[in-house]
Amino acid sequence: MPTDYLDISVPISPDMLVWSTHERVSIDTDESIYAGERNRVTALRLTTHTGTHVDAPYHFVENGLTADQLGLDILIGSAAVYDFRGRTAITAELLTRAGVGSVPRLLLRTGNSQWIRTGPLPAVPAHLTEDAAHYLIDKGIRLVGIDGLTVDAPDTVVAHSALLRAGVILLETLDLSQVEPGDYELICLPLRIAGVDGAPARAVLRPR
C-alpha cells in the first residue's frame, strides 16, 4: 500500500479488545499436506461487530439495510477528522463549536485511541450524546466513525438508535492515534456478508 495511505483498522487477533457480551475471537489454523504441498487453512470465529466494523441500519431497524446492501458511495469519499481528545461526552454544542457538518463523513478522534488496541476499557469511554446524534442527522452526515467500541455511553443506545434509524452508517473501533485532524478521503470496505447487521471492515484514509 502506498505510504500516503493511513490504515485506521484495528488488527483482529484472539487477544484484542471486544465488547463484554460478545464472543471473543478464535483463530485456528489447520496445517496439512495436499497434493504433495504443505498448506494452511485458518478457521476464524468472531461476531459481525468485532474490531473495526460497520454498523448497518439493520442493527437496530427491522427492515433496515443490511451490511451487504450498503452503497459504496457512503463508504468511500471525502471525510473530516475532528479532534475531541480530553472530552468524554461529545455534545451538539461541541460539534457546533468545531464546525462539524460541511463534510458528509465524520471521524471522531478521542482519548479512546489510547486504549483501543490494548485495553483496558475505561468505565466511561468518549461517546456521542443523544443531542449530538440529532445534530449530525440535521447536518446531513452520512457516516460517523469513532475510535471506541461504540458511539454510545455505557448502558445506552440512544445515539445508535437515532443515527441508524436516520440511515447514518456507523464505523466503530477505529485507531486514529496517528491521524491528525483535517480532510481526508475515506475508503471503508466491510465484508460483503449477506443479510447481517454489520461487518468487520478495512478502513484507510488518504490525506486530501
* Active-site amino acid positions: 59
Burial profile 171-185: b = 16 or more Cβ within 10 angstroms, e = fewer: bbbbbbeebeeeebe
What is the distance in angstroms between the CA of the first residue and the CA of the last residue of the chain? Answer: 17
Q: 41, 35, 70: which is closest to 170 by C-alpha? A: 70
- Give how far the C-alpha of residue 180 lies from the chain's centroid of Cα atoms, to the nearest Å: 17
> Hey, which bits of the chain come out as E strands?
6-7, 26-34, 37-45, 53-55, 76-83, 89-90, 105-109, 127-128, 143-146, 169-172, 182-190, 198-207
